[in-house]
Amino acid sequence: MTSHPRVGPLAAHGDHTQALEVDRLLDDLDTHIIVCCGSGGVGKTTTSAALALRAAERGRKVVVLTIDPARRLAQSMGIAQLDNTPRPVPGIGPGRLDAMMLDMKRTFDEVVESQASPEKAQQILNNQFYIALSSSFAGTQEYMAMEKLGQIYRDAFAHNGGNGDYDLIVVDTPPSRSALDFLDAPERLSSFLDGRFLRLMLAPTKGPVRLMSAGINLVTNALKKVLGGQMLTDLQTFVTALDTVFGGFRQRAQETYKLLQADETAFLVIAAPEPDALREAAYFVERLSGDRMPLQGLVVNRATLPDDASLTAAAAGAAAERLADAPLTAGLLRLHADRALLVERQDQLRERFAVAHPQVPTAVVPALPGDVHDLDGLREIGRLLAQE
C-alpha cells in the first residue's frame, strides 16, 4: 500500500510549505477515504462535492457522505433529495458518483434491525427512551457518522475484497470543532455503556441474588416513585438493549477509528483566509496530528488574489486623494487600494499559518463571482483545487 506524505508527528522535516497535489491524491487507488473538516461557512460542503466529482470524472467509483445538515449538496448535484441511501448523480463518467446525507435516526434504527431479532428490534424501536436517544441525544450524530462510514467501507472493501460499489469515500463533516467529535465517539460510547448508572439499571435483570440486594431495591423503589413503574420498566428494557445490541457498535466504532488512522485515509482541513477560520484550522491540524491521523493538507477557500496591476495600495490611495475633483477615477483607485490591502492581509494570515505549520501542504482556491449551484460550478472548483 502506498503511504501518503505525512504531516505532524509523522512528517519528515522541511523548510518550505508544500503545494497540495489534489489530483495525485484523487488518483491514488490506495486512498479509500477523504475526510474534509473545518469550521462553518468556509466552503467545506462544496469542496467535498467538488473533490468527489473530480475523482469520479477521473475514473474513481465515489460516494460522498455529508453530515452537514445544509441541503446545498443535493441542489448542486441535481438530486431532488439526499437521504441515508446513496443516490446516483447523473451524467458522470468515466467513473461513478453517488451522494448521500446522514440520517441519524435511520442509521440508529439500522443498527438495531441488524443486531436483534425482528421481535426484539420492534420492541426497542418502539421504546420511548430509544426514540429520544436516537433522535436528539447529544453525540448521537457523531456515533452514527462513525457507524455509517464503517458500513460503507465494509460494503465497499472489507466484505468484497475491494470489489464493492465504491473505491473512494468522501466525508463532509459537521461545522466547527464538532467536526472532530466523531473521533471521540468510541471512547464516549464505551464510557456511556460502562457507566455506573447503566450498571445499576441492569442489576435487577442479572439474577435473583442481585435482585435481592437491599441497595438495588432502595434505588429501584426511589426511581419508581419518580418515574413510575412503567417508565422504569421501559428504561430497564432500553438499557438492556444498549448492553446487548450496541456492544457490537462499540467494537465497530473502534475499528472505524483505527481505519481513520490508516494510510488509506486522508484528512483535508478546509478554511477561509480569515483570522477565526485559520485559528480553527490550526486547532484541527494540531488535533489530527496529536491523534496520529493522516493529515494530507489545507485548502484555503475564497481567497482574494492579486491582479496584474503593479499599483500598490499606498500609491492608489495617494492618487485618489490627489484626484478628489475626479470622483469616478478616485473611487476606482480607492477600490483598488482596498483590494490590495485585503490581498496583503490574507497573504499575511496564510504566511503566519505556514510558519506555524510548515509541513502542511496547501491549496488556495480564489473566490468566485457567484455561488456554486450546479455541476459546472463544482467542476470549476475542482480545477482550481488542482491548480489547473
Q: How many domains does the chain have?
A: 1
Domain presence at residue 30: yes
Domain presence at residue 71: yes
Domain presence at residue 274: yes
Q: Which domain holds residue 149?
A: 22-194+246-306+359-386
Domain presence at residue 7: no
Residue 30: its pLDDT value, please? 95
- CATH number, domain at 159? 3.40.50.300
pTM (2 d.p.)? 0.80
More confident residue, 206 or 290: 290
Domain presence at residue 28: yes
Contacting residues for 52 by C-beta, under 8 A, at least 6 apart: 62, 63, 64, 97, 99, 168, 170
Domain presence at residue 57: yes
Q: Which range, of 224-233, 317-326, 362-371, averages the lowest pLDDT?
A: 224-233
Residue 6: its pLDDT value, please? 41
- Please state, in angstroms and rounded to a whole number, the distance separating the CA atoms of residues 360 and 151: 30
Q: What are phi and psi of 291, to 5 degrees?
A: -90, 5
Each residue of 296-348: pLDDT tens digit? 999 999 998 877 667 777 787 787 788 878 888 888 888 888 888 888 899 89
Residue 95: its pLDDT value, please? 95
More confident residue, 228 or 125: 125
